[in-house]
A and B are shown apart, each in its own frame.
Chain A
Amino acid sequence: MSMNPELKRNLWLELTPHRLAGMPLVLFAIFFLAASLDKTEASKAISGVSVVLFIALVVLWGTRQAAESVNEEVRDHTWDGQRMSSIGPWDMTWGKLLGSTVFPWYGGIICLVVYVLSSMVAVERNPVETALMMTLAGLFGQSVAMLASLQAVRKDRKYNKSNAAGIFILGVGLTWPIISFALNASVMFKWYGIEFESLSFTTMSLAVFLAWAVTGVYRLMRTELQMKNGPYVWLAFVCFISMYVAGFGWAEDVGNGLFNMTTLAASTATLAVYLMAFSERKDPVSFRRLVIAYGRRDWHRTLQELPCWAVALPVVAAASVCVMLTSGPQAMDGVPQTSFSMLVLASMLFVVRDLSLILYFNFAKNPKRADMLMALCLFLFYGILPGIMSGMDIDVLAALFWPRGDSLAFLSVAAAFAEAAVAGSLVLKRWQGIYGTA
């Protein structure tokens, strides 16, 4: 069986004899230093240092390498060559993921072995499971970084240093709290009523989310190789993550628990919509393909051309209906159920308004900073303006920008509807300005 070419290329570049010899030399020198500084508890010192070194190598350096692997191909104009090769999307995914990070992992595995051995000597808790958790966390952070960098390349096919830095921070920012949560003293908590210990729950969650992240990289890689994706996997992920987060809302009181869970699910699905609305391409050309496919009644193609944020909208709607159904008198202090349903409806309409505005800005002649402008608008709509109104005790006006569940619920729905309608007509007008017909 021949080796994955992408992995092979990375091995040529990353694992030179000098590097192979240098890494263990440096690491063991640091372990020796740690042991010599704390002779009484040398194994504990080595164990601690090995975790720090693992984080530095795999989480910091490895995540950066993963974030840069596709970005650098784009910058160096080698990406088109790779896209035209016969390497399949799966081989490209794991070849790049493991290949670009192979040297940090070379050092990381040494650290893990040293950690397990020294922890066993120091009689620390679950060294093998902790090592497994750290391995999964490292892979997860790297996968997310590669996923984000591929998404950035899909959005704007050019090397962007600040994007790369942002993606690196995202990968590290996700991994760091997970590792520190799992490494801290054992915490017991319930998820869907089942009691878990923090380390084992983190390890299991990481394994599942790593699978999703790698699936995401694989699917974006398919798109880069000009293969089409259907909407079902993304839809399944939005459902999964909504259900996953909902599990944390479980409560002994069934009524409260259900309400908490549906609210968490709806919020998570809504966040997924916003995340994709900001990270996907939104130029009129990409929608043109959708409109053409729809015009031809080519449903298969129409589903393939649907943006992910649109695919997630039915989940938001379904979860919101569940929130309405599960909201009893306990939903909000003293808020009648009807008003609360109005609040949910207003929230959905505000989401429609925001999505319409994002499209409106992106359909402009020069949409370079459209997403930045929209982020500013969201900050104004949901932060500054309602804050000013509330500060000035004019709650009536605050209801124009913020969904309300009190006596102003109806006004909030009416305002959200009007704003969504205006934003929608603006998008339509801009579209007609470009293509003549809707």
Chain B
Amino acid sequence: MITVKDLYFEYPGVLALDNVSFSVGEGSITALVGPNGAGKTTLLRCIAALDEPVSGGITLDGVDVLENPRDCHRKVGYISDFFGLYDNLTVEQCLRYTAMSHGMNESGWEAGVKRASSRVGLGVRLQQKAGALSRGLRQRLAIAQSIIHSPKLLLLDEPASGLDPEARAALSGLFKGLRDEGMTLVVSSHIIAELEEYSTDMLILKDGRVAGQRRVGQEAGAVSSVLMKVTLARPDSRLVEIIGGASGVSDIRLDGRHCWFRLTGGDAAASDLLGTLVGQGVRVSGFTDVKAGMQHEYMTVVRPGAVRSADQKTAPADNVHDAGEEARP
């Protein structure tokens, strides 16, 4: 859906995007994350053909954004972090105006208003003034405005900021629904826990560069290995030795009755290892894979030092074993 190649964007004295290249697949929800000032908003505005980069290329659904920005505008819905509404218009007028401004005819905008308002749960508030809506409802109206022309791509910059947990949950459901209808979404946010609920992909920006891009739940360099956690009913000194002896095991970390390690070989290897542990009389009370969270993945890329120290807190350095060395019999 989106292909960005060698993109450079400058503000006077600041290189906001530095040789950014990536692509986003159709029907995905990409979480765009990064520290403040990483260039997330600038990138979204360039994709939306609102700001012009100094050089580079952006293709959106086959359209060259820089050459044909108006064609791009027809395919994109965009909500900025500081979106605005016409406070003196009613919800219906706001939606009607947006539909008309996207070239929809009368029958088109009537259906569009109905569809978009019910999609975001504003069907019963059509006659209410936009200025009288709560923050959450205003957010919904902004989303309704941005999807009324059924764009192929929806770009959202900090869509959940200022929303209560209930509204955030509703937003998450809405995004999943839009994706199921075939829309591609790129969502920039600082609230990674919330992004985790609906994102399929993650694009990490740092200092204007792409610091990482991956499917959610898949750590860099860990394509085939899974993080596993074993919990014992009571401590067993043989645990590291037994686990380390199994094939495909690495990075064993022990903390009391809990042990983490990486395992390659899929379900078969996991099943074999569990059988070995139980067979040797180890009192296993839990044996599960641990999905790498987006927060962990994000921190691994953005602040690797912080991740190491957090790991060390839960699994002291002297308890970290390498399966290939001392833990091996």
Query: Which A residues have a C-beta under 8 Å from some C-beta of B?
Result: 2-3, 5-6, 8-9, 12-13, 73, 76-87, 225-227, 283-285, 288-289, 292, 365, 367, 434
Give CA–CA (A3, B106) in the complex, Å: 10
A12 CB contact (under 8 Å) in B55, B83, B93: B93
Show 10 A/B contacts (Cβ-Cβ < 8 Å), sorted by A.
Answer: A8-B100, A9-B89, A13-B88, A76-B84, A79-B84, A80-B48, A84-B76, A86-B149, A226-B50, A285-B54
Contact, CB under 8 Å: A85 / B98: yes
Q: Which residues of A contact B36 (CB under 8 A)?
A: none
Contact, CB under 8 Å: A9 / B10: no
Contact, CB under 8 Å: A292 / B55: yes
Contact, CB under 8 Å: B101 / A77: no
Instruction: Name the residue on B nearest A83 (C-beta).
Output: B50
Give CA–CA (A394, B245) in the complex, Å: 98
A230 to nearest B CB, angstroms?
A: 16
Q: Check if B296 is an interface residue, CB within 8 A of chain A.
A: no
Q: Which residues of A contact B145 (CB under 8 A)?
A: 81
Q: Which residues of B contact A289 (CB under 8 A)?
A: 52, 54
Q: Which residues of B contact A3 (CB under 8 A)?
A: 100
Quick one: which of B77-122 are within 8 Å of A by CB?
Answer: 78, 80, 82-89, 93, 97-98, 100-103, 105-106
Instruction: Name the residue on A nearest B151 (C-beta).
Output: A84
B79 to nearest A CB, angstroms?
A: 9
A369 to nearest B CB, angstroms?
A: 14
Known contacts A12-B89, A227-B70; A283 and B12 CB within 8 A of each other: yes
Interface size class on chain B is: 35 or more
B82 CB contact (under 8 Å) in A8, A77, A288: A77
Q: Which residues of B contact A81 (CB under 8 A)?
A: 83-84, 98, 145
Contact, CB under 8 Å: B101 / A367: no
Beyond the given A5-B100, A76-B84, please list 9 additional residue pairs across the A-B interface where CB-CB is below 8 A.
A5-B97, A5-B101, A13-B86, A13-B89, A80-B50, A82-B101, A225-B69, A285-B10, A434-B13
Quick one: which of B33-62 are within 8 Å of A by CB?
Answer: 48-50, 52, 54-55
Q: Check if B74 is an interface residue, CB within 8 A of chain A.
A: yes
Query: Which B residues have a C-beta under 8 Å from some C-beta of A?
Result: 10-13, 48-50, 52, 54-55, 69-70, 73-74, 76, 78, 80, 82-89, 93, 97-98, 100-103, 105-106, 145, 149
Q: Which residues of B contact A79 (CB under 8 A)?
A: 84
A226 CB contact (under 8 Å) in B10, B49, B76, B105: B49
Give CA–CA (A86, B149) in the complex, Å: 10
Give CA–CA (A20, B302) in the complex, Å: 59
B75 to nearest A CB, angstroms?
A: 10
Instruction: Name the residue on A nearest B74 (C-beta).
Output: A86
B25 to nearest A CB, angstroms?
A: 23
B172 to nearest A CB, angstroms?
A: 24
Contact, CB under 8 Å: B101 / A365: no
A78 to nearest B CB, angstroms?
A: 4
Give CA–CA (A78, B142) in the complex, Å: 10
A181 to nearest B CB, angstroms?
A: 39
Q: Which residues of B contact A6 (CB under 8 A)?
A: 101
**Most chain-A CB neighbours within 10 Å: which of B82, B93, B101, B102?**
B101
Contact, CB under 8 Å: A84 / B78: yes
Give CA–CA (A121, B83) in the complex, Å: 55
Give CA–CA (A112, B134) in the complex, Å: 45
Contact, CB under 8 Å: A85 / B82: no
**Most chain-B CB neighbours within 10 Å: which of A12, A84, A227, A284?**
A84
Instruction: Name the residue on A nearest B99 (C-beta).
Output: A5
Give CA–CA (A76, B88) in the complex, Å: 12
Q: Which residues of A contact B10 (CB under 8 A)?
A: 285, 288
Contact, CB under 8 Å: A77 / B55: no
Q: Which residues of B contact A84 (CB under 8 A)?
A: 48-50, 73, 76, 78
